[in-house]
Amino acid sequence: MAYKPQYGPGTSIVAANRRKQMDPTQKLEKVRDVTDEDIVLILGHRAPGSAYPTAHPPLAEQQEPDCPIRKIVKPTEGAKAGDRVRYIQFADSMFNAPSQPYQRTYSECYRFRGIDPGTLSGRQIVECRERDLEQYAKFLIETEMFDPALVSCRGATVHGHSLRLAEDGMMFDMLQRCILGDDGIVRYVKDQIGEPLDREVAVGKPMGDEWIKAHSTIFHSLVGVSYRDDAEYVEYIQRIHALRTKYGFMPKEE
């Protein structure tokens, strides 16, 4: 019998949202359209329409020695072409953002190939070949894993994301990469590093409190679902904690 991943415990909507994002068989809701050119502008790694810079010749031209692993593992399009490695980094508000650092890494590892994710307390980075990155970034920005007000693409100077939200519901950003217009649409005026863009990039309207609470993957006792209210999740974490504490004493579960 084949192993069926469980992805995570819990009976709350937060737990269900976490499992949905991690499960590659679950199709995530597409909630906005961002053009390929706009994705390139936000990333800031190359000029839209320019050729992909390479780190090495295409694999087909390298005349690598015969290797059984190469026959088993199919290269991504970026690896096949010899693209250089680039990144996108996300900052998620603690106030019910639709995703968060560890959740992003788990989800990306299940859904994407050829990536190197990095998880920090308040930001999450994913590195991979450039043309693969643009495809993955488009998915991460267009689907329910992103909200224009509570998620931000910040390659540097992430600080302030976990402070209280501004009166308009936007996260604080010292570099003010994106702004909320009078029409309710969030637009990037700088790329993820903070370099000014030649034109604004629209990423849609904030989804609103009701949608956010229904799609969040964050437990929050004040503005969302309290962690202690998900008894199954608490039981699971208590078990893990107990086993880790007893680990050196060879624990045995009854």
- The structure's pTM equals 0.92
Amino acid letter, residue 245: T
The token pair that represents 139 in the structure block: 């998915």
How confident is the model over 167-213, as pLDDT tens digits? 999 999 999 999 999 999 999 999 999 999 999 999 999 999 999 99
The token pair that represents 135 in the structure block: 């495809």
The token pair that represents 86 in the structure block: 């680039």
* Local confidence band at 91 (pLDDT 50, 70, 90 cut-offs): very high
- Cβ count near 62 (within 10 Å): 10
Whether residue 1 is predicted with pLDDT greater than 90 in this model: the reply is no
How confident is the model over 43-55, as pLDDT tens digits? 999 999 999 999 9
Kindly write down the DSSP assignment for every residue of 92-121, as one continuous string. Answer: E-TTT-S--HHHHHHHHHHH-SS-EEEE-S
Provide the 3-class DSSP secondary structure of residue 245.
Answer: helix
Average pLDDT over residues 102-123: 96
The token pair that represents 114 in the structure block: 């050829």
Beta pairing partners, 85:
129
Tell me how far apart the alpha carbons of residues 202 and 184 are, in angstroms, rounded to a whole number. Answer: 11
Residue closest to 159 by CA, chosen among 91, 79, 217 = 91
Q: How far is the first Cα of the chain from the last one, in angstroms, to the nearest whole number?
A: 25
**What is the pLDDT at residue 246?**
80
239/136: higher pLDDT: 136
